[in-house]
Amino acid sequence: MWRHYDGGNPYEDFNSEEAGNGMWWGAVQNPNEPDILARGSCSNIPFWVETGEVPDVEGALSPLILAELAYERIRVPETNITLSPEREDRQVVNLPTWIWADTGDFSPVAVTASLDGWDIWATEGSGDTGDTLPTAVFDTTHDIEVMEVQAVVR
């Protein structure tokens, strides 16, 4: 490793002469990635990238990767629902039940991801982003006890 970064193969003195003209890039795991093998799949050692260049390495930060990271971090506020019939203990099998979101403060949500020192950034949100957002489902669950009503009709 010492020869790699200091001995001239391929870098000399940790590329100190290039300070301000680029930066070191290295693998960083996404702790929210559910697939542990995918999370640790990058085995590249840190490498130098000139300012403004996007390295040709799988998974390297790019506007697309930043957009995916930004989208992953969007948090939609909790929503309260109302049932009809109103009481949860009155929900009955085969009886129509209406569920709707209460009126409230609904406003667009957005998040921006950027890389300092590079002109790479992405904003994802529910406003006019100029592109199609990835398919996603935001949901909330509510436990409801449902009764079964039986009747004998002669």
> Three-state SS for 151?
coil
Which residues fall within 8 angstroms of residue 107, CB to CB, at 6 or more apart? Answer: none
pLDDT in tens, 35-56: 988 888 877 899 999 987 878 8
Lowest mean pLDDT among 10-24, 63-77, 78-92, 121-135: 121-135
**116 falls in which pLDDT band (50, 70, 90)?**
confident
Q: How far apart are CA 79 and CA 32, in angstroms?
A: 24
Q: How far apart are CA 73 and CA 10, in angstroms?
A: 37
- What's the pLDDT at 11? 92
Mean pLDDT, range 12-20, rounded to an integer: 91
State residue 59 phi and psi, 5-degree precision. 85, 0
